[in-house]
Amino acid sequence: MLRRNLMLAVALGATLLSGAAYAADPVSIVYIPKNTGNPYFDSIIKGFEDGCKTLGCEFTTVAPASAEATSQIPFVTAQIQRGVNVVAISPNSPDALNQVFDRARAKGTIILSVNSDMPGNETHRDAAILPVDFTKTGPSQVELLGKQIGYEGEIAILSATTDAPDQNVWIAAMKETLEKDPKYAKMKLVTIAYGDDDPQKSTTETEALLANYPNLKGIISPTTVGVAAAAQVVETAKKADKVKVVGLGTPNQMRRFIENGTVEAFQLWSPYNQGLLAANFAVGVKNGTIKNEAGTVFEVPGLGKVTVEKDSVIKTQADLTTFDKTNIADFNF
Amino acid sequence: MTSIDKNPVAPRVIVREAAAPRPRWQVWLIRPEVVTLLLLVIAAIVATRLSPFFADLGFILESSTYYIEFAIVALVLTIVIISGEIDLSPAAQMALSACLFGTAFKAGAPIPVAMGVSLLSGLVMGAFNGFFVTVLRLPSIIVTIGTLILYRGLAQVLAGDKSISGFPGWFVGIDYRMVGIVPVPVLVFIAASILLGLFLGITIYGRQIYQIGTSEIAAIHAGIRVRRIKMGLFIASGLTSSIAGLMVASRLGSVRYDLATGGELTMVLIVMLGGTYIFGGRGSILGTFLAAWLLVIIATGMTVANIAINAQLTIMGLLLIVSIIATNAIYARSQR
């Protein structure tokens, strides 16, 4: 009896000790999204939380009320004061945070830019976690539409604004794919419309497309506002069987159109995976198991092998995620 | 009184005793600035309890630099409000003057020249507001809501969606230049508070501004040059805004059209927390000075304690209402 008690005490003591040693320095990570109340960022946060559950890191998230360029600065300063190891942030400005990042890094805090990078100011952060390999966005969208219309017929693009940098890069890639790849030789791009990422204008532009091009077979809208508006117009006009809509959209916006068959499939990436990857990378770099330099390959459970590219850029996934009837129920953002 | 006494037809002489003068301690203690000071002490104690990371003077001073530009403009805004007017455009003036500075620098002007352009623009923007208010006699709240949108729009036309950066090293980082442990912007704020406090408290212009705010018609009859003084206040507001804009440009190392967005509300918040009467005639620089630190303590304390932003905004809103009620109650009491 006594011996049993002793053993229990020893075992308890051992657990306590190891527990204490473990708790002494879990890596602490804070994530600062652009602003509060955006389901897209809630998905990234969920990824961080699940990652930290398995890795044993401490995770918190704080966010400013507005996405104004300087609104995140006091939060970064407060986190340095709290002594967190890693600040992951979706910066509201490519350069307004430079000074405060420099100070954080001088005190040993690791700065990760999540979801978007800081073009031209890469030296002020430690690494950038981006959603997807954006060079594949254009070709991938063309293929998604081509498959649905039998690689034949007139198609149109509904973009954001005329000078939206991301969209213009993707559209250029779409044009190139259509011209160069013989597989798409019978698909003809008739026009590019600009909805300015405004639901009303996007709706009007789509209506004009349907009126002006009666033989139109498909619309690609590589912007979340545009693709939802286009789907709505096609649904109202009852032309879902004649005109296929594809694009980049979020599952919550597009769920209704997928469920009622207006849209067969659309694409995006998984913000959840970005959070998961960022948590793994942060802990690895802090503990010295992952080297933050170009060429490093590391494994993320559930995502496979990931490579650190030039300028410490990490792309979460190579290909876009395609959402359709079979998987849309799994996503909520 | 005397005319009634001399009237022989009066059936009865009404003798009213003057109320006993209020005790001196009441006159000194029951004033809005004391409420602000009390809130400041309470906020500091609560913030220290909320987070073990808060009570660090270096950290509080560093964090204060994020609000101090607004606080500097709020000092001038205090005087504008005491004179019975309001200026809601300073934050937009900060953005436009900073963007003019950035554009001039990008066009090849040396930094001192670009700074001169920015300060000059502050004078012009202030005079523009002043023209509408004093010459065309339009209500300042409407005029400055208009110019708030106008100046912000011009800043966007000028700078577009991109930020302007690449300023030389000596210009960048004013908030990181220290005298002891005090960042330079904080020193500027303290110096400006003392100067404006003296201006309002002991100069003849200061007394005239209180008079204008209390009763503009009486002030005009007393021979006070109301329009000239108001014009001066709007110009001072513009100039101070452009100085604050330059300080933001230096702190961030870049300028953008959306710099200081929403700052006008922070400024009004500081002035109101400091016990300045929104209808003019009453208020003090000391109150605004204390209120600026109250805002710094509350915002910094809650942020470092990881309190969610919606809770932070709720508390700020409640505090503002409490301070306005307190100010009104105190002024109503002292007017009896």
CATH code assigned at A236: 3.40.50.2300
Indicate whether A306 and A225 sit together in one domain.
Answer: no
Indicate whether A260 and A275 sit together in one domain.
Answer: no
What one-character DSSP code corresponds to residue A196? T
> Where are any strands of DSSP class E within chain A?
28-32, 58-61, 86-89, 110-114, 127-132, 153-159, 187-194, 216-221, 244-247, 265-268, 297-300, 304-307, 313-317, 321-324
Which residues on chain A are in Cβ contact (under 8 Å) with B62?
77
Examine residue A2 and state whether it is found in any structural domain, yes or no: no
Nearest chain B residue to A82, by CA: B53
pLDDT at position B16, please? 67
- Whether the CB-CB separation of B92 and B149 falls below 8 Å is answered with yes
pLDDT in tens, A120-176: 889 999 999 998 888 889 999 999 999 999 999 999 999 988 777 788 889 999 999
Examine residue B1 and state whether it is found in any structural domain, yes or no: no
pLDDT in tens, A170-196: 999 999 999 999 999 999 999 999 998
Indicate whether A155 and A196 sit together in one domain.
Answer: yes
What's the average model confidence in pLDDT over B75-92? 97
Block residue for tokens 């304690």: B305
pLDDT score of B186 more than 80:
yes
Across all residues in chain A, what is the average pLDDT? 88
pLDDT at position B10, please? 52
Domain coverage including residue B83: 29-335
User: In this complex, do B165 and A95 lie within 8 Å of one another by their Cβ atoms?
Assistant: yes
Examine residue B13 and state whether it is found in any structural domain, yes or no: no
Q: Is the C-alpha dihedral spanning B242, B243, B247, B253 positive or negative? A: positive
Examine residue B192 and state whether it is found in any structural domain, yes or no: yes
* Backbone phi, psi, residue B62, to 5°: -65, -45
Examine residue A9 and state whether it is found in any structural domain, yes or no: no
Indicate whether A169 and A65 sit together in one domain.
Answer: no
pLDDT score of A49 more than 70:
yes
- Tell me which range, A125-134, B72-81, B272-281, is most confidently predicted by mean pLDDT: B72-81
Nearest chain B residue to A65, by CA: B309
Indicate whether A166 and A238 sit together in one domain.
Answer: yes
Examine residue A18 and state whether it is found in any structural domain, yes or no: no
Domain coverage including residue A65: 25-125+271-316
Q: Name which of A88-102, A206-220, A253-267, B236-250 the model is least confident about.
A: A88-102
Indicate whether A202 and A241 sit together in one domain.
Answer: yes
Nearest to A77 among B62, B165, B256 (CB): B62
Examine residue A331 and state whether it is found in any structural domain, yes or no: no
Q: Name which of A34-43, A125-134, B120-129, B197-206 the model is least confident about.
A: A34-43
Indicate whether A152 and A238 sit together in one domain.
Answer: yes
Is 0.90 surpassed by the pTM of this model?
no
Q: Which of residues 248-277 of B touch A (CB under 8 A)?
A: 248, 251-254, 256, 258-262
Complex ipTM value: 0.83
pLDDT at position A146, please? 95
What's the average model confidence in pLDDT over B154-171? 89
B55 touches chain A (CB under 8 A): no
Examine residue A10 and state whether it is found in any structural domain, yes or no: no
Examine residue B20 and state whether it is found in any structural domain, yes or no: no
CA–CA distances in Å: residue A180 to residues A158, A184, A320, B226: 22, 8, 21, 75
pLDDT at position A196, please? 85
Indicate whether A172 and A256 sit together in one domain.
Answer: yes
pLDDT score of A15 more than 80:
no
pLDDT at position B268, please? 94
Indicate whether A141 and A263 sit together in one domain.
Answer: yes
**Structural domain tally of chain B?**
1
pLDDT tier at A20 (50, 70, 90 boundaries)? Answer: very low
Indicate whether A68 and A141 sit together in one domain.
Answer: no
> B87 or A269: which carries more pLDDT confidence?
B87
Q: Which SS3 state, helix, strand or coil, does residue B169 take? A: coil
Indicate whether A260 and A179 sit together in one domain.
Answer: yes
Examine residue A11 and state whether it is found in any structural domain, yes or no: no
Tell me, what CATH number does B42's domain have? Answer: 1.10.3470
What's the average model confidence in pLDDT over B146-164? 92
Nearest to B163 among A62, A65, A93 (CB): A93
**Structural domain tally of chain A?**
2
pLDDT score of B222 more than 60:
yes
Q: Name which of A134-138, B41-45, B193-197 the model is least confident about.
A: A134-138
pLDDT score of B26 more than 80:
no
Among residues of chain B, what percentage have pLDDT more than 90?
74
Examine residue B8 and state whether it is found in any structural domain, yes or no: no
Indicate whether A88 and A147 sit together in one domain.
Answer: no
* Backbone phi, psi, residue B309, to 5°: -65, -35
pLDDT score of B163 more than 90:
no
Examine residue A333 and state whether it is found in any structural domain, yes or no: no
What one-character DSSP code corresponds to residue A321? E
